[in-house]
Structure formats: structure tokens, C-alpha cells
Amino acid sequence: MKKNLMCLSYLPICLGLTMLVSSYTYGQQRTVTGTVTSNQKPIEGVWVSQEGRDTVTQTNASGNYQLTIFGENAILIFRHPLYAETRVTVGNQNAINASLEKEKQIDEVVLNAGYYKVKERESTGSIAKVSAKEIENQPVNNVLSAVQGRMAGVNIVQNSGTPGGGFEVQIRGRNSLRTYLTAGYDANAPLYVIDGVPMPSLNEYKAGLTGAVLPYNDTNALNSLNPDDISSIEVLKDADATAIYGSRGANGVVLITTKRGNVGRTLVKINTSYGLGNYANLPNVMNTQDYLKMRTLAFSNDGISNYPANAYDVNGRWDKERFTDWQKYFVGNQAEQTDTQISVSGGNSNTRFTLSGGHREETTVFPGSYRYKRNTVSANTEHQSTDRKLKLTFTGYYSMEDNTLPPSDFKSIYGNIAPNAPALFTPEGGYNWEGGTFVNPLAIASQTVTMQGRNLNANFNGQYLLTKGLSINLNAGYGYYDRAEQRIYPKTYYNPASNIGSERSSLRTGSMVNRNWILEPQLNYEKKWGKHNINTLIGSSFQDQTSNNITLLGTKFPSDELIYNLASAATVSVVSSYQFHYRYQAIYGRLNYSYADTYFINLTARRDGSSRFGEDKRFGNFGAVGGAWILSKEKFIKNIKWLSYAKLRASYGITGSDQIGDYQFYDTFLNSGGSYDNSSGLLPSRLFNKNFGWETTRKLEAALEWSMFQERISMIAAWYRNISTNQLVGIPLPATTGFASYNANLDATVLNRGIELSLQTAILRDKAVKWNLMMNVTLPENRLLRFPNLETSTYANSFQVGKSTTLVKLYQYTGIDPITGLYTVADQNKDGIINNLDKTVVKELQPSWYGGIQQNLQYKNWTLDFLFQFTQQSQLNIYANDNYVGAVGTRPELYLDYWTPDNPEAQFQKPTAGLNAQAVAAHNLFKQSDATVSDSFSVRLRNASLSYSIPMTNTKMNVKIYLQGQNLFLWSNYKGIDPEFNLQGYTNALRVISTGLNINF
């Protein structure tokens, strides 16, 4: 009892101490108020907090805030997404005003490196960036058209001017020996990543329905993406930048970031445009008189005096006075393009959002109602908690593509039609068959090809700050890509005189469904102490891709009215059916260390696992090291007044590639296509190889970056060297084995090296006038360093050690024989026989150098932009694929310079109707000679735009009108239409001029 009373006696003392402490604490607690501005204008949504405390407040529309603080040495932190963080010591003040500066200064450009972001000045890798400002409003369907010529080391070629066509993208050359023709896919294509979700890896399956109108039956992964939805494009080139993606980044990485919401009032943007496109640089063609003169001489040279019954153009069956420029009729039309984009964005400092929808339509230069349509819907939401610990981002993109095209490119049709061929239609409006003497090309075109694509790309990213400097991150993505193709074969394809009905009509359909998901947990840690800074990342990737493909054929329809309904066919058969399953796993890590913001080192390591290899070779280890030294922070550089900034960087690393298709190492079988005793058979198609492993590329780079005269001139000079080994190709086997080749790693080595130069200048920076000029130049070299036993292999005619991997071996053209009037080539081994042993001339079909010059000139409300692209390259010319002089068809006027006794110095041999074996053989040798390769220099006005912002008073609306042009002019000594594009039978990229209106409110 006494003890309890004693305890009670302490209560007044404890209560007194508690009151004393509370009064002291209360004395250290007070309220601080103030206003936050930038350029003397209030900022809404600024986070204001006390360092070391969880209490946070925000500024209102007037920039005012109120915050309760504790302690004597309080420090206030002001944060906003668009401004640099500012810290202020309170002291004894009760009113603290802060002025924030824009964070995105020239020296604070932030690059997206994939799994992390890095300031451009602190980057140790080679990353090229193109922003939305440079690509917006351009009259293109695919954003790759808008970035051609804008980045050093990135060579982009459009495969076709037909809507829906593909692109060939090479980042620092070709690492693999595989090509479209040998592999059926582009083994040198880069990895495309949209908002953190990799696009599906290659799909070797092709339905084969579009190959005659779209090269290689191929499209591009970015066709479904509206360029107006893109915020920026970053291209990762060297090992330091790409190693974080492991094997998937062996050929470079293209990172696409879509637009995000803005902080502040809700903003509505409307962008609409209308454009016209046409085929540029079409040559003049022979008129009927010159054509018939050539054809008549051709028969005479062949010793034919009585014209064959099927020579309708010269034997009198067709009107010899009739003339039609079939070139203009089939590819000389105007294509229309319309594009409308509407977006809504807004939010506050915690939550931002953007919603957008777009519609685009394109027609073709072909006659007929062919049309491409694309509808897109995208949404993005970002949320960050007030204490900045939790950040959630969701991005969704969905597109619908519908494309109706002819069965083949009309460019491959008109060349076989004589200029005096009959009209295409009868007076009654039906197809004209001219009594069975004319195969009507428009009837052939009734075999319409339609394509539908449905693409969904969704990404979720969550980040939580566990403690100061330590955060956990989860990146999850899902992609769904559905492509359906069909081609009809109606009875109108046949001449009605043949009495063929719908029982011969057929429908072929192809369906390709690809599902792709990825899950990537990550742990990030950052620590700063003194002049030291460490940034680490550890993560893993789990990717799963499935593809289901089937091609069906329906025949014997009761009526062509039902030809699009496969169920109406009397017979339906499965032409082919494939299922692919690709799994990919990886664990990776990154360690970045910097000292005094001057010295940087970046280490990356990754272990990849791919289901495309056997168990013994399934996993590969890759990594890179990169370093940077900011020279301008050294004392011996600071005294150079005209030098604003200088950095030296270098990197080395190893990346791998599994771009070979699925199940390539297995014993695989195909359906024989027939049956016996009601059972289908199987045919072996591939041999098992458990040692089939990773293709590897070792990348080395060194670069110098510097700026002068207060950032008015900035330059980058880079040297790179990539060496690729363990080539994933087919090793030829003797025919007695029953297999043409055996999939294995070939002990061949490919070298890609070069120099990249980039220049950026700010010539004028006045308030009224701003003038910026950018230029880039690339000098690439591609060479085969090693190929054991090449001379005895089937690759002997395709490659040569010490030469480019894109070479061709040709005969040496020695001119026209003055006696026979025929082409001649050199008999190099003097054996009296012309064969492949005489192909000793090697031509490397690659650019010697390429680049671009772009400028931006602003004067008050006017803006003028243009981009010139230039290249010096060796390329196949028009002679490589053209028919012999004297053949039936529309021919350019230049072929009028053919050999006659009166014209012995002619450019082309004497005409032949194809009945003179020696003349035809001479022509075939000519097509395989060095006369078919041109070394050309070309300058192209790739893009030009003029825009005007209409002054608007007493309103928050902004209105801009613009005029844009794509592929406007070409200056070249190339023998052909376009040196960039030489695929025989396909339409070139079009010249497009468009006008548009941009409204923001």
C-alpha cells in the first residue's frame, strides 16, 4: 500500500514535466505562408513540404500556400513536375516566397533509356532522340517516315508507297547474314518498345496473300500507331544503351513514348489535315509510233517477216493509231489522305490524364476504290500520391486497320501492256476482252485483297518508395495483335467466252493472332553522399508470346454474291496451320556511379533465356560497361571561355540475338498435303540440333560531345565497331540427305563500323526570330571478316571475305558488239564459255555515307521547317530488272537509244521480239553485269512545312494552320526512278502535300 502511494505521489511531477515539454514543442511549431511563382506568375499545384516530415500541402490557383512546420532549422522543399526542385531554409521567417525555374533547360534534356531515365549530359551510352515537335503534323501513316534522315547511324527505307507497307530499319548496319529472301523475315530489325511493352518478336508465318502488293508480305509494327500520339522516340544504339535489353536489343532498340496529360486546366486539341499524293519522277514513255517502229524492227532482226498470230500490236488486230499512257493510268493517279485527331488532357499535380481518338483514311495511286482506314483510341493516366511515395501509370492503345488492295501492285502490270492495246471497258461498261486477244488487267484486279488488323497495347507501371532512395517497381504489359487477310478469285477474272461460272470461284483467308504479355519486377536504389552518387537497378523479365495461324481455302461457290462467305463454299480445306509459343526470361542489373557530377561509370549485366534454343544453349550471359567524363568541369577546361560543355564517353559490351523463329532446333514435320487410305502424311522439314545457340555481337564505341558559345553550337562525334559471330544460318547439306540445309551456328564473322557526326546550332535566339540548324552524317562500313570454306559452299556466289554482306557478283560488261549489235561480257577465264566462273566483278550494294540537314526558322507567328536527306550509295539500277528491248509493253523513252547500223554507239542492243536466242541470252547476261549497278549521289527534300499561328485575343484558344510536304523533290544521277527504292514491281514512296488545322482550347 505504501509503495502504491509513493507511485501516486509522482503523478504531479510527471504531469508537470509533460506540460513543460508540450509547451516547448508548441513553441517550436508555427505556420508558414507564402506564394510560389515563376517569371512573376503564380504556379498552381506546387508540393510544399518540410524536409524530414510527412506533412505536405499544395499551392492554389493564386500560387499561395500554408504549412505548419516544426523545429528551429526547418527547410522547405518546393516540387513541381515541370520545374526544378527548390529548397529554402526558413530561419525565423513566417512568410516564405519561392520562385521556381523551368527544369527542362538545354543541359537538362532527359533521355528514355528503357528501364531508367538519364540526363543527356550524364549519359554514358549512345541514345538518339526525336521529339513530338519534329514529327507532328507530318503527312505520314507510319512515324518511321517522319524520322528518316534525322538520326545518325539509323538508316530507314520504306519498302512500298502502298498503304500498309513495311519498312527496313538498320541501326548501325546489318549484323546478321540472314535476309528477307533467305529467312522470310527481317533478322536485322530492331526491338520496338511502346510505353514499356515490347512489340511481338518476329512471326515467321506468312499467309502469302499480299506478297504481290506488299513486299515480303510484310508490314511494320508501328503502322497501327498514330504519329500524333507520340511524345518522343529514342533509339538505343551502342552496347551501354542496349545491353539492358539483352538479346532483344542486339540490333538496337526503338523506344516509343506516347503523350501524357498536362498539369493545369483541361486542354482539348483538334488536329485535322487533308493531303494529296502522287508518284514522283515518272519517266516519259514511248508513243505508239516509236513503239511500233521498235517492235517491227525486233521481228525483222529475228528474221520474222510474217507476224505471229498473237502479235496483236503489230499484226493489225489492234488499232495502230491508238495510244494510252498505261503508266499514268495505273500509277499516275492522285491518292487522297485525311487525318483527324482529337485529344483531351488535364489534371493536377497528383493525377494527370489524356484521352485521344484518331481516324485516318488513304487511297492509292491505282485506279479503283482501294482504301486504307485506321481508327485509334488511346488513354493514359498517371497518379502520384501527395507524399510522392506511390506512383501509378496506366497506358492503353487500341487500333483498328482495314485495308483493301489489288492482288498485285499495278506497277508490275502496266509494263506488259502495249501502248496501242484496246480500251479496258466496252461501251456498255463491261470488261473488254477484244475478241479474246486482250487479257484485261482490270479483270485480274478483281481478285481483291482485304486486310484487317486489330491491335491492343496496354501497360501498367507501379512504383513505391519503400524508404529514402529505395523503391520497388512493377512493369506489366499485354499486347494483342490480330491480322486477318483474304483474297477473292471471282468468275469475272475469266473471259466470259470461256463460260466459267461461280463453280470456279474461290476464297482464300489467312488469320494470324498473336498474344504477348510481359511482367518485370524491379528494385531501384539511389544513394548520395558528398560528391558520390550511386544508382542501382535489379530486375527480371518474364515474357510469353503465342501465335496461332491458319490459312483456309473455299471453292465452288453457288454465286459470286456469296464469295465473301466461307460457309457458302461447297469445299473448304485447310491450306496450312501453325501454332508458335515463345518464352523469354531474364534477370538483369545496372550499377551507375558518379563522382562530383564529373565522372560516370555504368555497368550492365543480363542473363537471358530463350525457348528458341535447346536446353544446353538456352541461356546466355550479356553485359556492358560504359564511362563518361565531363571535361568541361575540369580546371584546365574551364578557362576556355568559348567552350560551354565537353564530354568524353566510351562503352563496350556483348549482346545476343535469338531472331531465328520458333522451333528451329527441333526435328519438325509438315503435313504432306495429300492423303492415303483416309490418312494424311507427314514430311520431315528440319533436323534437330541441340547445339543451336545464341548469335553474339560485341559492340565498342568512343565519342566526344561538346558545345560552344553558350550552347549555340553543339556537336557529337562517335566511332563505333560491332563484330557479330555465331551466325544463325542454314548450313547447306548434300541433296542425298533429303534436306537443303541444317540450322546451326556458322563460324562466320561480320563487321560493322563507322563514324557518326551530329551538329546542332542555334543561329538566332531573339524573341522575334529563332533559327536552329541541325545536321547529321554517317560513314558506315559493313564487311565479312571470316567465313570458313566459303569457296566450296553454296554461299560462294553471295559473299566474299573482306567485302560487304550485301554484295552482288557480276559479269564485266564490255559494250555492244559492233557487228552483231548485241551486249557482250568478258570471258574472264578465257575458256570460251560464259558462266558463273566469269562473275568476277564485285559490287557492294550499300551506302558509302548518308545524313540529313534540318532547319527550324521562327519569325513571330510563322514557322518554317525543312529536312534534306542525302546519300552516296551503290544500288541496282533500272536495267537490272527491265525486259529486253523489243518486248511487248510500255517502255520508257530512254530505250529508244537502241543499236542499229546507223546508231552503232547506242546504249542498248538491237531489238528482239524474243525469237532470237542469242539476243535473249545476251540480254540475260547484261542483266547480270556491272552495267546494272549505279554509284549515285542523291539529295532529297524529305519534308518541308510552313505554319502560322493565328493571333487570338481575349481567349485561351490557339489556332494554327499549316502546309506540309513529304518527299517533295529528288536530285540524283541515279539511273531509275528512286535510288532509295529498287524493288521490282512495287510502288515507290509517294510525294504528298497536305494542309491542316490545329486547334487547342
Region of poorest pLDDT, from 461-465, 663-667, 838-842, 887-891: 663-667
pLDDT number for residue 57: 85
**374, three cell numbers:** 485506321
pLDDT number for residue 216: 82
Mean pLDDT (whole number) for 776-800: 90
Q: How far apart are CA 434 and CA 533, in angstroms?
A: 82
Bigger pLDDT: 746 vs 784: 784
Whether residue 322 is predicted with pLDDT greater than 80 in this model: the reply is yes
Bigger pLDDT: 676 vs 709: 709
pLDDT number for residue 7: 43
Alpha-carbon torsion angle 548, 551, 557, 559, nearest 10: 80
Region of poorest pLDDT, from 232-236, 456-460, 691-695, 779-783: 691-695
**pLDDT for 395-422, tens place per residue?**
999 999 999 999 999 988 888 999 999 9
Whether residue 385 is predicted with pLDDT greater than 50 in this model: the reply is yes
pLDDT number for residue 107: 42
Q: Which residue has the cell 528491248?
A: 885
Burial pattern 844-866, b for ≥16 Cβ within 10 A else e, equals: bebbebbbbbbbbbbeeeebebb
pLDDT number for residue 746: 84
pLDDT number for residue 699: 95
Bigger pLDDT: 787 vs 661: 787
pLDDT number for residue 23: 42
pLDDT number for residue 3: 41
**pLDDT for 894-950, tens place per residue?**
999 999 999 999 999 999 999 999 999 999 999 999 999 999 999 999 999 999 999
505 closest CA partner among 442, 448, 579, 547:
448
**89, three cell numbers:** 531554409
User: If you write DSSP's letter for every residue of 238-257 in order, what string do you get?
Assistant: SHHHHGGGGGGGTT-EEEEE
Neighbour tally for 640: CB within 10 Å: 12
pLDDT number for residue 112: 66
pLDDT number for residue 24: 41
Whether the CB-CB separation of 171 and 147 falls below 8 Å is answered with: no
101 pLDDT band, cuts 50/70/90, is: confident
**pLDDT for 142-154, tens place per residue?**
999 999 999 999 9
> By percentage, how much of the chain surpasses pLDDT 70?
94
Contacts of 618 (CB under 8 A, 6+ apart): 609, 610, 611
pLDDT number for residue 4: 44
Whether residue 2 is predicted with pLDDT greater than 70 in this model: the reply is no
Q: How far apart are CA 678 and CA 673, in angstroms?
A: 12
Whether residue 17 is predicted with pLDDT greater than 60 in this model: the reply is no
Burial (0-12, 13-18, 19+ Cβ within 10 Å), 277: buried
Q: How far apart are CA 396 and CA 401, in angstroms?
A: 17
**177, three cell numbers:** 547474314
Mean pLDDT (whole number) for 174-188: 78
944 closest CA partner among 228, 156, 274, 146:
146
Q: How far apart are CA 270 and CA 644, in angstroms?
A: 40
Whether residue 847 is predicted with pLDDT greater than 80 in this model: the reply is yes
> By percentage, how much of the chain surpasses pLDDT 90?
57
Q: How far apart are CA 291 and CA 810, in angstroms?
A: 31
Neighbour tally for 504: CB within 10 Å: 15
Whether residue 822 is predicted with pLDDT greater than 60 in this model: the reply is yes
**Helical (H) or strand (E) element with 42:** strand 41-42
For residue 540, the one-letter residue type is S
Whether residue 338 is predicted with pLDDT greater than 60 in this model: the reply is yes
Whether residue 529 is predicted with pLDDT greater than 70 in this model: the reply is yes
pLDDT number for residue 183: 63
pLDDT number for residue 103: 52
Whether residue 272 is predicted with pLDDT greater than 90 in this model: the reply is yes
Neighbouring-strand partners of residue 894 = none
726 closest CA partner among 668, 657, 672:
657
Whether residue 870 is predicted with pLDDT greater than 90 in this model: the reply is yes
For residue 553, the one-letter residue type is L
Q: Is the pTM of this model over 0.75?
A: yes
Whether residue 837 is predicted with pLDDT greater than 70 in this model: the reply is yes
**Helical (H) or strand (E) element with 35:** strand 29-38
87 pLDDT band, cuts 50/70/90, is: confident
Mean pLDDT (whole number) for 85-90: 86
Contacts of 586 (CB under 8 A, 6+ apart): 246, 540, 541, 606, 607, 608, 609
**pLDDT for 632-676, tens place per residue?**
988 888 788 888 899 999 999 998 888 787 777 777 777 766 666
517 pLDDT band, cuts 50/70/90, is: very high
pLDDT number for residue 203: 56
pLDDT number for residue 10: 43
Region of poorest pLDDT, from 663-677, 785-799, 809-823: 663-677
766 pLDDT band, cuts 50/70/90, is: confident
605 pLDDT band, cuts 50/70/90, is: very high
pLDDT number for residue 181: 64
pLDDT number for residue 159: 87
| Mean pLDDT, the chain, whole residue set | 88
